[in-house]
Amino acid sequence: MELRVLNYYLTVAREGSITKAAEVLHVSQPNLSRQLKQLEEELGTILFFRGTKKITLTNDGILFQQRANEIISLVSKTTNEFTQQKESLAGTISIGCVESVASRMLSKVLRDFSERYPLVRYDLYSADGDDIREKLDKGLIDVGILLEPIETSKYNYIRLPYLEKWGVVMRRDDPLALRETIGLEEVSRLPLIPPRRMIVKNEISNWFGTTEEELQIVATHNLLTNASLLVEEKLGYAICVEGAHEIRGSRNTCFIPFAPIRTTGHVFAWRKSQIFNSATELFIQFIRDNKKA
């Protein structure tokens, strides 16, 4: 399976037409059709439903599209690393970061690191912990900043001295918005929009002294943006950390911390046995040397 054929496939999937894809790729339509047919034979499956004017992806085709994108991304990342090693300290550091108070910390760290190494570039990825760990495991990002709790057996990590308060996001005109804190028992009776991560949902259920099934969960979220919109439409109360609301919150919502206070820490993690370019190695050491207790 050649990278050229993967690019052909992704172009056809994007354009929805072999004719249009052939024009974009500057290849003949018969040649492109033949390459796709050979790809299907190699994989032993059908990737497209071929209509008269438009093609659509089969379920296997959608899965292969995802894998092809990951392969192309990883090859591009690897090529850049080897190319940039030939220059004075340069390179690209790919970083995943949850939305929390650590986001502001990261921006300051990158500013300081860039002053020392101005040729280094950064590829930033915002997501929840599950998405970031998946990217770490596949080698698609180098390092990640994650909220605890997190399974750390597969990773090297540095515990960061930044704590986040948990609480609920609600409309500013909600009667509960006048509170300085809100009790866990009271929250457990509200329609809730918690984070989607199973390990976090389990911990929240433990705080409430109940099970997830007993809670009134109307939706879950991985990042707070869409959850805040649901809050504005009075569909429920979003559970998150305070820093996420500071970054993503709107003028129409506010954050009220839990009582008793519930906090969580951060870790800066990377996959064990991972080999990095020089820029990433230095960045990890920079984090280790400059974290403040």
pLDDT, average across residues 158-176 = 94
Of the pLDDT bands very low, low, confident and very high (cuts 50, 70, 90), residue 15 is confident
The answer on pLDDT for 64 being more than 60 is yes
Task: Look at the chain and count its residues.
Answer: 293
Using DSSP bridges, classify how beta strands 182-183 and 143-147 pair: parallel, antiparallel or unpaired. Answer: unpaired
- pLDDT for 81: 66
> Residue 86 pLDDT more than 60?
no
**Predicted TM-score (pTM) of this structure:** 0.67
Question: pLDDT of 121-142, one tens digit each?
Answer: 999 999 988 999 999 999 999 9
Band (229; pLDDT cuts 50, 70, 90): very high
- What pLDDT is recorded for position 78? 77
Model confidence at 4, in pLDDT bands (50, 70, 90)?
confident
pLDDT at 40 over 70: yes
Question: Looking at residues 192-218, what average pLDDT do you find?
Answer: 90
Inform me whether the pLDDT recorded for 100 exceeds 70.
yes
- What does the pLDDT read at residue 251? 86
Q: What is the mean pLDDT of residues 85-91?
A: 65
Averaged pLDDT, 46-60: 84
pLDDT at 167 over 50: yes
Q: What is the mean pLDDT of residues 196-217?
A: 89
Is the pLDDT confidence value at 32 over 80? yes
Task: Work out the pLDDT band at 93, boundaries 50, 70, 90.
Answer: very high
Residue 293 confidence (pLDDT): 40
**Residue 269 confidence (pLDDT) above 90:** yes
pLDDT of res. 273: 84
* Residue 84 pLDDT grade (very low, low, confident, very high; cuts 50, 70, 90): low
- Domains of the chain, first to last: 3-81 (1.10.10.10), 89-162+266-290 (3.40.190.10), 163-263 (3.40.190.290)
